[in-house]
């Protein structure tokens, strides 16, 4: 089951009555595949959403409807209000005319609970959310730009800012911001999935931090190996030129330690020195050896 389906399943389990049930059903109607006096049709890939719509129609408008299953490869569930009298009842109750169905009648959404229910219904009918393991994204898909603009204004007023766009002839408002996504899920009432999202964010943060740490450690290991190789090569060059035995004691000790422990870091070698050199002091003497080796023709 996808994260989007999990969210919708949780939202369908929220029980509302009275004005809130009507507002939630209104939200679903606004993002139905068809919403007009001539035709009202919901189409969804989630059985729970279709059944929830049927339940809301009965509770809010006393309308009996049925779920019809279809789709040979991908399951599709449709709910159609076939009776003209039922469609007129919905339009009359919502204070809508045939020509202004795309516009949201905000006078029905004066209570905060009704606003939340309306947005929840809109998401159930035309919204989706991506798996947060892959990306942070939620969107609503509309047939009419006016409906998209009206819902965006509702969410903007609650500081849940979604971006408008057009794709394949449909009008979308969306977010790719994880905090906005959390706010949206919480506003709609999907508290459990909000917590799941936060959990995913924490785990991704931990993994990213560990990856950065591992990359840093790998870089340091490679850097140490490269440095040790260059130092060893320079000392062997001095040795082949007969210069190693003639070095001052402080440089001879550094050179022999490097030859004996070619993979050790400068910090380790410095602690092994008889003089108890610091890493900086050991490195300073090593640089002198490198300069001497460079002068050998």
pLDDT value of position 18 = 86
Question: Is a pLDDT exceeding 80 seen at residue 142?
Answer: yes
Domain range annotation of the chain: 3-189, 215-294
Which string of DSSP letters, residue by residue, matches the chain? --HHHHHHHHHHT----HHHHHHHHHHHHHTSSEESSS-EEEEES-HHHHHHHHHHHHHHH-----EEEE-SSS-EEEEEE--HHHHHHHHHHTT--GGGTTS--GGGG-SHHHHHHHHHHHHHHHEEE--TTT---EEEEESSHHHHHHHHHHHHTTT---EEEEETTEEEEEE--HHHHHHHHHHHT-HHHHHHHHHHHHHHHHHHHHHHHHHHHHHHHHHHHHHHHHHHHHHHHHHHTT-GGGS-HHHHHHHHHHHH-TT--HHHHHHHSTT---HHHHHHHHHHHHHHHHT--
- Greater pLDDT, 272 or 55: 55
DSSP bridge pairs for 76? 70
pLDDT value of position 82 = 93
- Greater pLDDT, 177 or 2: 177
Kindly state which CATH superfamily the domain 3-189 is placed in: Homing endonucleases (3.10.28.10)
In terms of average pLDDT, the best of 1-10, 225-234, 278-287 is 278-287
Work out the pLDDT band at 214, boundaries 50, 70, 90. Answer: low
Which string of DSSP letters, residue by residue, matches 187-201? HHT-HHHHHHHHHHH
pLDDT value of position 201 = 64
In terms of average pLDDT, the best of 5-19, 55-69, 201-215, 216-230 is 55-69
Specify the range with the lowest mean pLDDT, choosing from 1-5, 205-209, 247-251, 290-294.
Answer: 205-209
Report the C-alpha gap between 266 and 271 in whole angstroms: 9
DSSP bridge pairs for 141? 172
Q: Determine contact, residues 105/96, Cβ cutoff 8 Å.
A: yes
DSSP bridge pairs for 171? 142, 166
Question: Is a pLDDT exceeding 70 seen at residue 204?
Answer: no
Write the pLDDT tens digit of every residue in 20-73: 999 999 999 999 999 999 999 999 999 999 999 999 999 999 999 999 998 778
Question: Is a pLDDT exceeding 80 seen at residue 224?
Answer: no
Write the pLDDT tens digit of every residue in 160-199: 999 999 988 889 999 998 889 888 988 998 877 766 666 6
In whole angstroms, what separates CA 159 from the centre of its chain?
A: 19
pLDDT value of position 275 = 75
């Amino acid at each position: 089951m996808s994260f989007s389906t999990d969210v919708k399943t949780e939202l369908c389990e929220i029980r509302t009555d009275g004005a809130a049930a009507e507002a939630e059903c209104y939200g679903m109607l606004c993002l139905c595949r068809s919403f007009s006096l001539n035709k009202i049709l919901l189409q969804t890939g989630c059985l729970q959403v279709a059944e929830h719509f049927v339940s809301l129609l009965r509770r809010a408008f006393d309308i009996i409807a049925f779920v019809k299953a279809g789709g040979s490869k991908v399951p599709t569930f449709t709910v159609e209000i076939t009776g003209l009298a039922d469609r007129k009842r919905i339009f009359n109750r919502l204070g809508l005319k045939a020509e202004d169905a795309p516009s949201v009648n905000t006078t029905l959404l004066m209570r905060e609970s009704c606003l939340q229910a309306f947005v929840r219904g809109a998401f159930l009918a035309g919204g989706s959310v991506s798996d947060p393991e892959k990306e942070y994204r939620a969107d609503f898909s509309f047939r009419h730009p006016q409906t998209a603009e009206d819902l965006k204004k509702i969410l903007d007023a609650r500081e849940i800012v979604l971006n408008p766009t057009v794709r394949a002839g449909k009008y979308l408002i969306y977010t790719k911001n994880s905090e906005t996504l959390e706010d949206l899920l919480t506003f709609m009432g999907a508290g459990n999935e909000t917590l799941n999202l936060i959990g995913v964010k924490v785990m991704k943060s931990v993994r990213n931090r560990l990856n950065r740490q591992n990359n840093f450690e790998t870089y340091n290991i490679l850097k140490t190996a490269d440095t040790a190789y260059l130092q060893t090569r320079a000392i062997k060059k001095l040795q082949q030129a007969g210069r190693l035995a003639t070095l001052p004691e402080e440089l001879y000790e550094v050179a022999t330690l490097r030859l004996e422990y070619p993979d050790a870091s400068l910090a380790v070698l410095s602690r092994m020195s008889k003089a108890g050199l610091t890493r900086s002091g050991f490195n300073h003497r090593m640089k002198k050896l490198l300069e001497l080796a460079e002068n050998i023709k």
